[in-house]
């Protein structure tokens, strides 16, 4: 990412290394998620799936990918924060 910002060129070997690191991190995230899947609210699981589908979209440039990623992260963060707040607030009590 910094490389594109600085408009530097890279060799194929370095780009392959970056791609490999990204894939490794992605696998670790999916593994961790699947291991702890049973702890999560169904709505959070659905949001995780939606986010991953959105992130699998191919873009012309890395900048387009970043723009999409930031937008999708904001959507997911807002939705999951809202879900968490409603879970933590507990059931509403009836006033008599």
Q: Write out the DSSP string of 10-65.
A: --HHHHHHHHHHHHHHHHHHHHHHHHSGGGS-HHHHHHHHHHHHHHT---SSHHHH
Q: What is the mean pLDDT of residues 67-82?
A: 88
27: which 2 tokens? 């696998």
Q: Residue 4: pLDDT above 60? A: no
Q: Residue 7: pLDDT above 60? A: no
- DSSP annotation of 91: S
More confident residue, 17 or 34: 17
pTM of the model: 0.54
In the structure, what pLDDT confidence band is assigned to residue 5 with cuts at 50, 70 and 90? low
pLDDT at 67 (0 to 100):
84
In the structure, what pLDDT confidence band is assigned to residue 9 with cuts at 50, 70 and 90? low
Q: What is the mean pLDDT of residues 65-81?
A: 87
If phi > 0 it is left, if psi is from -120 to 50 it is alpha, else beta; for residue 73 that is alpha
């Amino acid at each position: 990412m910094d490389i594109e910002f600085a408009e530097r060129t890279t060799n194929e070997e370095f780009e392959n290394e970056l791609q490999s690191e990204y894939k490794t991190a992605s696998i670790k995230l999916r593994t961790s998620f699947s291991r702890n899947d049973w702890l999560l609210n169904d709505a959070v699981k659905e949001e995780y799936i939606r986010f991953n589908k959105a992130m699998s979209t191919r873009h012309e440039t890395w900048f387009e990918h970043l723009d999409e990623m930031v937008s999708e992260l904001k959507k997911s963060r807002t939705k999951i924060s809202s879900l968490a707040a409603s879970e933590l607030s507990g059931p509403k009590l009836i006033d008599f």
